[in-house]
Structure 1
Amino acid sequence: MTSLPTTSGDQPAFGCVVYIRRNEAGRLCGRVANLDGLETEGASERDILAALVKATRAKISSYLDEDQPVPWIDPPKAKADDETKRFLPLHL
């Protein structure tokens, strides 16, 4: 389940659902579907995923540092027809 963290030793692991699409200008856009407020644009899918990993880690860390629960969206937001779904496992 993407909304529940798992642990690997002392390091929590999380699953993020990412949707990627090409916008009207031809650039790639990506968004995390199960955590609000994380979107980016880039020249390649690799650029998108790298930026989202960095932003997602920072956002999750801020919640954990403040002893707040991570506000996962479960189930994730719906995927549009022009989006491609990627699953992004990440460790903090």
Structure 2
Amino acid sequence: MPDKNSHLMIEQIYNFVCMKPNIQSKSKYMQLYIFFEELHESSKDRFIAYKPFTYFGVFNGVEKKIYADAAPEFFDKDKFVNWVAKSMN
């Protein structure tokens, strides 16, 4: 299966999300929600988030749950982007 969520694409989406107004003042849950909603590859009604940190959607062409309890700090770009890339596999 082709890797639609390449490291470069994940980084581009990360940069896009970081430019959103007030992203820094949002909770970690909401920062991750916004990020994974942008990364999600299907209609918005097929993206579901459960508190505290579970996100269900279509990533890399496959329906998948991402458990983000152990996600690095959102604004630690390198660690966060690398963690997302590993979580997609």
Higher helix share: 2
Higher relative contact order (CA 8 A, sep 6+): 1
User: Shared fold (TM-score greater than 0.5)?
Assistant: no
TM-score for the superposition, normalised by structure 1: 0.30
Higher strand share: 1
